Structure formats: structure tokens, C-alpha cells
Amino acid sequence: MATQSKLAEIALNCTCFEYHHPWTKSCACAAAGMMLSEIPPSLRTYATVYVLALIMRGRVPSLKDLKRTGAGILQSTAFLSMNGGLFVFAVCQLRRLLGGFYFSTVAWLPSFLASFACLAFERPERRAPLALYVANVGIETLWKMLEARGLVRSIPNGQVLIMGLSVTSLMYLYRTGLHKTVAKDPTFKALGLILGKEEEGPLKSPVVTTSQSSRTAPINFRCISSYVQLYDRLLKAKHPSCPHKQGCVPNAVIGGLKPFLGGVGLSVGLKLLLNIPKIFQFRMQWRKQIFNKGSLQLGLALGIFSLLFKTTSCGLRHTFGFDDALFAIPAGLIGSVGLLRFPNTTVACYLMWKALQLFYNWGIAEGKLPEVPHFSMLMYGFFTAVLFHSAILEARSLRPSYYKFLMGISGNRISRFNVKPFEAYGLKSQDQINYVIKKLGIDMTSPFPLVALTV
């Protein structure tokens, strides 16, 4: 207990110079150096994002489009660059105000304040997508932090369960037609490509069949022509309430084949795009990189999902005699079996947050949920704070790719913070940082970060 108390006293009395910027005693230089080091990578990141968005429009940009793109790049670069600088500033000022460092003020609270303030400089239409992005990474990080403490436990294929429930929720919105009103989102365009426009809502008036004008003649299986007749019936069999034009069987089969081919093409295309240098250098390992089972996984997941969704939907229409948006729930859950072929945590988290966002918007529109002012900014601030806290105190809980991103955007500062005074928290933060540095092969030979401003 005496040792723990002594460690806690050291953490409380630690100065921001000892912890946050040991290369300079000036807090102003530390904040300015962080902000200046963030400008080039921020500019590269957002230039790529905005230019790709401009290309994706598929038309020749006008002068107005180019001006808007340029202004957007500069505005987003300023937002991201100020985030790190204000974070350093907030760390130093909170230590002065509170007289020392507490667990929440080492990284979480200063990051929350800095992120919330900086997002006000970003374009309003980009705030919600940014909040969803950091929430996607943040919820995964938060889960790993809780898992490290033994408070939660992961279950096999848990991400598939989340993905299936989320897709089912989105399909219900799609079939009700709310994606055209209170739940507008580009995600439904992707669902339309996978499942086709036939499943799109709002539904027409229910069609209930009570009688048939002509009874189909029984099939005599002793005759060969009867098998041809059976095959013809299977191709043309369709309930009046089914929204598709062809028979239910070809609709389901073709509806599964198209997403399968599209998913395989997308996987192969992305792999080719990421390996362009190797292709031109004739170092591409085609069999290992392209012609393998991994290239089929996304296609199989999309194809099986669409096949089972359409088959279940048509089966329910034939059984009950009418169509209903609620049929999307059992159809989506059964179709989720196909998602076992593509158990991706990132996609699962994205779909979960997207579904929650759209249902929240629906609840606000119906007057059943209160509208929280600046909800996107609060959400962005909270989860960005989680990511900064994890990067500094619990580095092993953070996604490796995001840790590398923070290292690049901060000018190699994150892993240089002296966290030894905070061993009192029992997280072994320095050991976690050393492990991540070694695992990712981060170069730490230089004693200073980029733009150190050691004045």
C-alpha cells in the first residue's frame, strides 16, 4: 500500500514537461510543434479524400466544384491539425488548474475538450460521418479495454451476430420506405445493389389471394413431358404480392449470383489496386494474392445473404398470402448465416452504428426520442478521447493501424510521452507502448519528434 501511495503521489505531482513534452520546457512550443507536424499528413489525407469524392461523381468538375473542393481540403486540414495542438494545450492547462494529473486528465478529458472544440471548425455535413468513424474504432477499443480488465468476454463470431442484427434492422427500414424520408443514407444504395430495387419500399397495398380462376392440372410423373412442365412451373411460380417480375426461384438464384460475382470482383479489384507497384515490378504473387479462397469470401457472404433473404421473403409471401415489411426481420436473420463467410469487426461496428443512428433519427422524427443538441460533436469527442487514452495508457487495446495513424499524424510523438509516472494506475502503460512499438516496427532512433521546437 505504501508503494502504491508513493506511485500515486508521483503521478499527481508529475509536470507536463516530464510527461507530455520532455524535449522542450515550453508548453506553447509543444502545442505549436504538434500542430505544425500535423499539417502535412492532414493535407495529404484530406486531399486524397476530397479528390476521390470528386472523381466518384463521374462527371467533369466545374470551376465551382474545384473551388468547393479546395476550400473543403483546407478547412478539414485545419480541423485535424488543430486537434493535436489543442490536445497538448489542454493537457498542460488542466494540470495547472487541477494542480496535478488524475487518471481522467492524463489523456481522456483534454482529448475530449480539444476534439469537441475542433469539430466546430469542420463542415457540418462531415461531422456525423467523422463521429461514426471514430465511434467505429472507439467501440472496438473500449471493448478490448474492458476485456483486458476481465469485465467482458468475447464470444465466437460475435461480430457476425452484430452484423446480422444491424443488416436486418437496415433491411426493415429499406422495406418500409423510411430510407426515402427520415432515414436517408448512402448505405441503402449499397443494399439496393445487393438485393435489387424489387425489395425496396414503401410496399404496395397488400394483395391477398382468396381463389384461383383456374386450377393447375396435376402432374403425371410417368410422362417425361411432365418433368419439363414441372420445371416450367418452378421458373414461373410467383405469388401476386411478390414485387419481382420473374418467378421466385430464378429471382432468388440470380439475386444470389449477382452479389457473389460483384463481391469477388470488388475483392480482386482492391487487391490489384493495393499491389500496383508489385505488378509493375513483376513481383506480384498471383496465386497467393489473387487466386485463393480469400478472394471468394466477400462474394460468398453477399451471395448467400441475398439468396437466403429472397428465398425466405418469397416463402413468407406464399405462406401468408401478402407482403409485409416485417418479413424483412426473419429474412434478414436467416440471410445472416451467409455473413459467417466474412466475419469482419470493422464492417460489423460500422453497420451497428449506422443502424443506431438511423433508428435514432426515426425516433426523433416520430417525437419518441429527444434530440440531443450537438450529439455528433459529443459522440466524436467521447470516442476520440477513448482512442487517445488507449494510445497513451493502454496501447495494446488500440487497433494497430490506428496507432500507426496517430504516430504519423502526431510527428512520432504519441509513443514518446513519458508514462512511467502513471504506473500507479496498474496498467503497465510503458510496457504496452514498448510492445506496440516493437510489433509495428516503429523507428525510435531519433531522440526528438518531428518539428520538436526545442526552444
Q: Is 356 a residue whose pLDDT tops 50?
A: yes
Separation CA 29–CA 33 (nearest Å):
6
Separation CA 164–CA 159 (nearest Å):
9
Length of the chain: 455
Mean pLDDT of 199-226: 58
Torsion of CA 417, 420, 426, 428, to 10 degrees: 70
* Cα 393 to the center of its chain, rounded Å: 24
Burial class (CB in 10 A: 0-12, 13-18, 19+), 318: middle
What would the DSSP string read from start to end of 23-48? T-S-HHHHHHHHHHHHHHHHHHHHHH
Within 13 A of 161's CA, how many CA atoms are on the CB side? 5
Q: Is 10 a residue whose pLDDT tops 90?
A: no
Q: Which three cell numbers stand for residue 215?
A: 386450377
Mean pLDDT of 297-322: 93
Residue 33 carries which side chain, given as an amino acid letter? G
Say which residue, 115 or 9, is predicted with more confidence: 115
pLDDT of residue 355: 94
pLDDT of residue 224: 59
Lowest mean pLDDT among 38-42, 228-232, 251-255, 324-328: 228-232
- pLDDT-based confidence at residue 267 (cuts at 50, 70, 90): confident
- The 10s digit of each residue's pLDDT in 187-197 is 898 888 888 88
pLDDT of residue 235: 72
Separation CA 253–CA 235 (nearest Å):
11
* Cα 232 to the center of its chain, rounded Å: 45
Q: Is 212 a residue whose pLDDT tops 50?
A: no
Q: Is 249 a residue whose pLDDT tops 60?
A: yes
Q: Is 207 a residue whose pLDDT tops 60?
A: no
Q: What global pTM score does this model have?
A: 0.85
pLDDT of residue 107: 93
What percent of the chain is modeled with pLDDT above 70? 91
Lowest mean pLDDT among 136-140, 213-217, 256-260, 302-306: 213-217
Three-point CA angle 394, 426, 89, nearest 5°: 55
- The 10s digit of each residue's pLDDT in 226-238 is 556 655 666 778 8
Mean pLDDT of 439-454: 86
Q: Which three cell numbers stand for residue 170?
A: 437496415
Three-point CA angle 68, 71, 73, nearest 5°: 110
pLDDT of residue 34: 93
Q: Is 6 a residue whose pLDDT tops 60?
A: no
Please give the DSSP secondary-structure letter assigned to residue 198: G
Say which residue, 8 or 263, is predicted with more confidence: 263
Mean pLDDT over all residues of the chain?
A: 86
Cα–Cα distances in angstroms (integers) from residue 305 to residues 106, 201, 332, in the given order: 45, 19, 8
At 204 the three-state DSSP class reads coil
Residue 308 carries which side chain, given as an amino acid letter? L
- The 10s digit of each residue's pLDDT in 52-102 is 888 877 778 888 888 999 999 999 999 999 999 999 999 999 999 988 889
pLDDT of residue 329: 95
- The 10s digit of each residue's pLDDT in 129-186 is 899 999 999 999 999 999 999 999 988 889 999 999 999 999 999 999 998 888 888 8
* Cα 302 to the center of its chain, rounded Å: 18
pLDDT of residue 55: 82
Q: Is 38 a residue whose pLDDT tops 70?
A: yes
- The 10s digit of each residue's pLDDT in 389-412 is 999 999 999 999 999 999 999 989
Q: Which three cell numbers stand for residue 11?
A: 503521478
R_g (Cα) of the chain, nearest Å: 28
